[in-house]
Amino acid sequence: MSDGLEAVTEAVAQASTSRYRSYCFYHSQDMERVINGNVLYLAFGSLDGDETLSVEVGKAIVSALQANGLEVEWNGGAKDRIFLPKIAWQKRSKAN
């Protein structure tokens, strides 16, 4: 998680705009977990640590995922990751 948050902070600092207020990501261990077991955890939050905004971000992510037919579990907490229990990860073949 700390590496992911560091990468988010760096990306925002390098951005040509300051419009970013929040983030969502998964890290390499999450990637391994989804490839091996079809479950994925998503980290999210506000860039300034505002818990109210973090909850709003979480709700928006959950809503978007559910609107696209994905099963989502989240307890509504600002510090709790979003869980997708049934992801069928598919590796795309490289175009020739």
Model pLDDT for residues 42-94, shown as the tens digit of each residue: 999 999 999 999 999 999 999 999 999 999 999 999 999 999 998 888 777 77
pLDDT at 65: 96
Question: What does the DSSP assignment read for 36-78?
Answer: HHS-EEEEEEETT--HHHHHHHHHHHHHHHHHTT---B--S-T
Any idea which residue has 């818990």 for tokens?
51
Mapped onto helix, strand or coil, the DSSP state of residue 82 is: strand
pLDDT at 26: 92
pLDDT at 95: 66
Tokens representing residue 11 in the block? 């990306």
Q: For the whole model, what pTM was predicted?
A: 0.84
